[in-house]
Amino acid sequence: MTVTPDLPAEWRAQVERTVQALRQEAAKYTAAGAAPVIELDGVRFTSVTDPFSQQLGYEGVWLNARGDLCGTLTINSDGSFYAEYDLFCPHPSDARWFVEMVTAWGDAASLRCEAQMIPSLEE
């Protein structure tokens, strides 16, 4: 693995689009003004070789101020991707749910995003 500060130009636009989608999804599921700061500049990428295709891909991680892992973004050699970012907060409008994370996945032609929720322990 090689640490790389920059992604190849052909993938940077897709990654920016993915980070924006994560931000928008997080804003839907957090209290007003409480969404985490999900920034492209905060992710650290390493280049990786796909063991099946032997093609180059990238794995990125976000760390919080304490150095804990709080998100990942994987770009596969075929341009497909998967990203997740931890929220760990109560649902802003439905006390039955706790929002664990937001995820995004797709490729250059499509991008999907959703929140992952678990039942709240509060009754």
Per residue in 61-70, pLDDT (tens digit) is: 999 889 999 9
pTM, to two decimals: 0.86
- Would you list the domain boundaries of the chain? 2-119
Q: Which pair of structure tokens corresponds to residue 17?
A: 């689009």
Across the range 94-122, mean pLDDT stands at 92
Rounded Cα gap, residues 62 and 73, in angstroms: 8
Instruction: Give yes or no for residue 86 having a pLDDT over 80.
Output: yes
CA–CA separation, 105 and 108 (whole Å): 10
Residue type, 111: L
Percent with pLDDT over 90 in the chain: 50
